[in-house]
Every structure is written in C-alpha cells, then in structure tokens.
Amino acid sequence: KVRESGVFEKVEVAGPGFLNLTVGGGWLAERLNDLASDGNLGISTQGKGKRIVIDYSSPNAAKQMHIGHIRSTVIGCAIDRIFRALGYDVIADNHLGDWGTQFGILIKGYRECLSDDERENLTVANLEKCYVLSAAKAKEEDGVWKDACRAELVKLQKGDPENMALWKRFIDISIGEFERMYGKLGVKFDTYRGESYYNSMMPGVVDRLVSAGLAEESEGALVVKLEAEKLGVAIVRKSDGGYNYTTSDLACVESRMADYDPERIIYVTDDRQQLHFRQFFSIAAKLGCTTKLVHVPFGLMSYQGKAISTREGNLIKLDDLLAEAKRRAYEIVKDRGGDETLAEQIGYGAVKYADLSHDPATAIDFNWDKALALEGNSGPYLQYAYARVCSLLAKAGDDGANVETAAFTVSTPAEKRLALQLLEFPGAVLRSAEAYKPSVLADYLFQTAQLYSSFYQSSPILKSETELRNSRLRLCSLFGRVLKKGLYLLGIEAPVRI
C-alpha cells in the first residue's frame, strides 16, 4: 500500500524492525509546486471567523520603558502576528498600568517638584523624575508629604476634575512615548484599555462573587479560597475597601467577553505573575467564564551576564538599548554601503531575535556579540541569508521572472532535504501558535537557512543547464519567500540588500 501511494520511490526492509521509506522526487516536486503557488505559503486558515484577544507589553504609565519590557513586547508581537497569519481576528490590547497609589505621589510631585517649564513641556522623563523626588519625600519621618500624596490620590479616586485632567495628561503623554518605542519595534495595538478602564466594573464583580458564594470575609478583607486547587487565597477586596490586581483582571475578562466575545484571551507577562494568573483564571471559570484563558509566562532576562536591576546600574532604557543596537549595526554595515535604515533593521532585528530564538519559558541573557553575530543562530545571520537569495535572483537576470513558472525537479539529497524542510513551513507556524512559542518558528527558520546553505554550496545553480537552473532558482526563491514570511511573523524585517 505504501508503494501504491505514489509518495515514496523506495520502500525497503532495513534490518530487523526497520523500514526505510524514501520520499520520491516527483511527489516532492508536486508538493513544492503547491506551496510555491499559494500566496499564503500553505499557512492554515484555521482561525477564520474566530476572535482572540492578546494582552501584551502592558507597561506602567508615567515611566519610561526599559530593557525589562522587551520580552513581553517582542514575544507578544510575534504571537500576535502568527495568530493573525492563521486567520484569527486578533485584538491586540495594551493593558496599561494606569491606576494606583503612584498617581497620588505623581500629582503631588508634579505640582511641587517640577519647574514651570518642565510642567509645560511635560515628558515621561520628567514624570519619572518628579515621581522619584516625591516618593523620596513621602518617606520623611513627619509623614506630611505622604499624607498630601494620599489626599491627592483620594481626590483623583473621587473624580476631582483637576486631578482627573492631570492624570489623563500623564496617561496621554505616556502612551505617546510608548508608541514612539512601538513604532521602532513595528508593534501596533488595537486598543489601550488600561487598568483604570475597569474601575467602575469592580464592585459588580465583587457582588457576583459574594452572591455566588465564592467570596468570604477574612480579617476585614474579602477573599476567595482556592486551597482545594492548591492556589492559596486570593484577595478581591482589601480591608481598606480598595480593589486589587485580581479584581481588576476579573472585571477585565468580563468586559472583554461582553465587548469582543473572544474564543481565547492570551496574556504575555513574566513568570513571577504565574500565581496571579492561575488564581484569577480559576475564579473566572467559577464565575462562568467559558473563554479559554492562556497565560504565556516568560523567564527573566539578564544583560551581559548580570541581573537587570537599578542596583547593578543596568536598568537600561529601551530607547537607549535600541540606539545602541542601531549604532553597533551601523558599524557593521557602514563600510558596505549600508545606511541608517539598514542599521535599524539589523540592530532592532538582532535584539528581537536574541529573545525570540529562546523558549519564552527560559531565562535568557542578552549579549551584544551573540545578538549581532553574522554567523550562528542570530537575526543578522537570517537577514543575511535572505539578502543573499535576493542578490542571487537578481543576478539570474531578466529571465528571473520565468523562474516562478519553472517545473521543480527534486533529485539530489541536498534538494530533497531542502524541499522537505520547506514543506514543513505551515506546520512550523501552526506548532509555534499552538505552543505559544515564537521560538518554534525561529528554530525552524534557522534550520531552514542551514539546509539552504548546504544546498547552495553543493548545487551549481546559474551554471546548470536551463531546466535545472530554473528549477533550482525557483527553489531558492521559495526559500526566500519562506524566510521573509517567517521573519515577518517574528516581527523582523528582511532587507533585500545587506
């Protein structure tokens, strides 16, 4: 039966217990033709008609983004693009940290620790500065400053117009600054519904928890006991009557269900929040939430072998990190005629790939030499492989256009290996989505580039007779398309010239 399938050109018993199945060149050529003729490169459209929300990046407002924000942003963006490619209707939602006690400290600091000029030309850097000054004063013995901050917060919570206007201004300035970073990284959100958006919905959530018999009083607070699931106890209303992160996320789920009716909500945060997500997923289910809730936790990132912390003095601003990436990439490309745009494509791509090539669950170390290496598993290596294919196709000249209609011949081992690998592209995209791991796709692309490189070294292309030449050129072109699409899904650009 295997012989009759037409897939294999050879089936043989290879010692006791083994069968060797050799895939036939003819069958491979047909499959390659199918793949090459599909504008979507065979990627499944299983997501058609299904909606999902992806909650990622989500920095806290009034602070500049730093190196610690890379992972959620870059991993989230890749998952976002992969699910969109699969046909899902994706809503990318930035769950900003835009509410909380820090705003009392900020408002007081804004009023008293900044110059008129700084207040007029308010930037996130100035907000950060006045926060630091104000927070330091709030620690003073007499407690006067602290009380004043508290009073500003209470005014804000009660909807005082002046404080509300200030708060709104802080948020708008923060989003503007975040969008400047997202612009560099090619990240786009459909909505910025921060924590504050859910404020008015929290009492309702707590009421439902109480009437469902899920919440109970404990030492003045209201809690949901999850000991049966070994998840401890989750506070949903503090003893001072305030709500917390759990309540806010419960309200957020209800609101997303009502507004979007998604089949799934994916949250990308660091792994220290695992208990929080397990707790609120469990409570949401008890409240009747049927949407699939997925937490994609990622490990800590260190920088050049050292933990990232203010104490180590390496809490580098994202803006500075990207500038450094660009500067280093420019050093590499400037003598080969590369410009600033190319330096950005390579530098930012290197930063992203250094993260995405690792399983999100693992802790990673960011290292400049490794990220920017032209050899090995790096962003620049893959970009270079793509640029080389482009230059080969350009060199093939005018009849390059004929290449896309050439008949594939797949006969040498190197051709077969590359063909089989290219046929795996749709599978790699799907596996990457199912595991919520862009690293699956990154691994696939790296392996593909390596197989391409051995094919390229062992198979004469431009010097072969016309039919073989065109078949091989078409294989190269297909590799280029797969690589470009794959890099795009990871959020990495593929310049045609390096």
- Contacts for 432 with CB less than 8 Å, ≥ 6 apart: 82, 438, 439, 440, 441, 444, 489
Q: Which is nearer to ligand ARG, 270 or 324 (CB)?
A: 270
Q: Which is nearer to ligand ARG, 97 or 104 (CB)?
A: 97
Q: Which is nearer to ligand ARG, 95 or 484 (CB)?
A: 95
Q: Which is nearer to ligand ARG, 99 or 408 (CB)?
A: 99
Q: Does 64 bind ligand ARG (CB under 6 A)?
A: no
What secondary structure does DSSP assign to 139-189, as a single string? TSTT-HHHHHHHHHHHHHHTT-HHHHHHHHHHHHHHHHHHHHHHHHHT---
Which span sits near ligand ARG by CB under 6 A: 40-48, 53-61, 213-221, 299-307?
53-61
Q: Report the alpha-carbon distance of residue 298 to residue 219 in Å, rounded.
A: 34
Q: Does 262 bind ligand ARG (CB under 6 A)?
A: no
Q: Report the alpha-carbon distance of residue 356 to residue 441 in Å, rounded.
A: 9
Question: Looking at 97, 349, 360, 495, which residue binds ligand ARG (CB under 6 A)?
Answer: 97
Q: Which is nearer to ligand ARG, 54 or 382 (CB)?
A: 54
Over its C-alpha atoms, the chain yields an Rg (Å, rounded) of 27
Give the residue among 65, 75, 491 at the shortest CA–CA distance from 317.
Answer: 65
Least Cβ distance, residue 266 to ligand ARG (angstroms): 10
Counting beta carbons within 10 angstroms of the beta carbon of residue 385, is it exposed (0 to 12), middle (13 to 18) or buried (19 or more)? buried
Least Cβ distance, residue 253 to ligand ARG (angstroms): 9
Question: Looking at 32, 42, 54, 58, which residue binds ligand ARG (CB under 6 A)?
Answer: 58
Asked if residue 266 lies in contact with residue 257, where contact means CB atoms within 8 angstroms, the answer is no
Question: Looking at 95, 469, 472, 484, which residue binds ligand ARG (CB under 6 A)?
Answer: 95
Size of the site for ligand ARG (CB under 6 A): 10
Which span sits near ligand ARG by CB under 6 A: 7-15, 25-33, 56-64, 113-121?
56-64
- Give Cα separations from 404 to 245, 399, 481 (angstroms): 55, 10, 12
Q: Does 269 bind ligand ARG (CB under 6 A)?
A: yes
For 193-329, list the strands marked E by DSSP: 215-218, 221-225, 233-237, 264-270, 292-298, 301-303, 306-307
Q: Report the alpha-carbon distance of residue 484 to residue 492 in Å, rounded.
A: 9
Least Cβ distance, residue 274 to ligand ARG (angstroms): 12
Q: Binding marks (x or -) toward ligand ARG, 236..255, rule CB under 6 A?
A: -------------x--x---
Residues that bind ligand ARG (CB under 6 A): 55, 58-60, 95, 97, 249, 252, 267, 269
